[in-house]
Amino acid sequence: MKFSLATILFVFALVAITAPEPIVDGSGLEARQMKPNFTPPP
């Protein structure tokens, strides 16, 4: 693959830093914090 792990992490960090607020992907702590009534599937 042309993209290395370092490049992916760099881009991810850049987006996370420039984003005004955490991006909710629906599969992390952000989802539970943004939606108090959210319950993970069993």
What is residue 37's predicted lDDT score, i.e. its pLDDT?
58
What is residue 36's predicted lDDT score, i.e. its pLDDT?
53
What is residue 33's predicted lDDT score, i.e. its pLDDT?
53
Whether 15 and 25 have beta carbons less than 8 Å apart is answered as no
CB-based burial of residue 25 (10 Å sphere; 0-12 exposed, 13-18 middle, 19+ buried)? exposed
Q: 1-42: per-residue pLDDT in tens? A: 677 888 888 888 877 777 665 555 555 555 455 555 555 666
What amino acid is encoded at 30 in this protein? E
The predicted model scores a pTM of 0.35
What is residue 11's predicted lDDT score, i.e. its pLDDT?
84
